[in-house]
Amino acid sequence: MTAPLLVFDLDGTLVDSATDLILTLNRLLEREAIPPVALADARHLVGAGVKPLLARALAQQGADSSDANVDRLYVTYLELYTIHMVDESRPFPGVITALDRFEAAGWRFAVCTNKLESLSRLMLDRLGLTQRFAAVCGADTFPVRKPHADHLLGTIAAAGGDRTRAVMVGDSAADIDVARNAAVPSVGVTFGYTPVPVAALNPGVVIDHYDELWEAVARLGVR
């Protein structure tokens, strides 16, 4: 029988990466002589990918947020972010313990993220987590990305899983919607970067800490 599979979003779900995303943004803004964004007020800017992050930040700072300017800055942002990706970023509290418990019970893991696959793998490598995941699928792995069902279904297939024995764990509308579109149950985490409370997105179960993940998955009835 195919092993059950937990599929995780990355930024805002597995890894608390907002600080490095915003610090990289501010390094870029400084180069452009644009005022930096305040860390305390910036979490709402992240969570949808780099280009939306740039567009939101530029607009917030009264700078040119046109597609052409975002495209121009995107390349430099990625160069800077590659260097500083895990200066501050760490797995959320309880992640490693939760993975250990599920792995001991025969579960496998995958990542389904709208971050570029190469950056996702690099982040997981630097955090010592890559070996935990049977598949890491990013925004450019398939022709589509979350919330399109095929991004999640493709990730499940790449991990050797079965949709009927999989659970999607995420923090944003893209995560909850991709699970819904793929007919896969979902767990929403409250500590991520969604601009609205994750409960408002109607995931199958909501958790406030990874200590609650085991019981949450049990409530979904996936084994």
What positions carry a catalytic annotation?
A: 9
Residue 118 corresponds to which amino acid? S
Taking Cα atoms as reference points, which of 128, 28, 34 lies closest to residue 84?
Answer: 28
Phi-psi region of 115 (alpha: psi -120 to 50; beta: other; left: phi over 0): beta
CB atoms within 10 A of CB 60: 15
Whether residue 182 contacts residue 149, with contact meaning beta carbons closer than 8 Å, is answered with: yes
Cα–Cα distance for residue pair 160/177, rounded to 1 Å: 22
Phi, psi of 87 (to 5 degrees): -60, -45
Query: What is the distance of C-alpha 161 from the center of its chain?
Result: 20
Cα–Cα distance for residue pair 159/3, rounded to 1 Å: 10
Whether residue 153 contacts residue 163, with contact meaning beta carbons closer than 8 Å, is answered with: yes
Q: Exposed/middle/buried for 222, CB within 10 Å: 0-12, 13-18, 19+?
A: middle
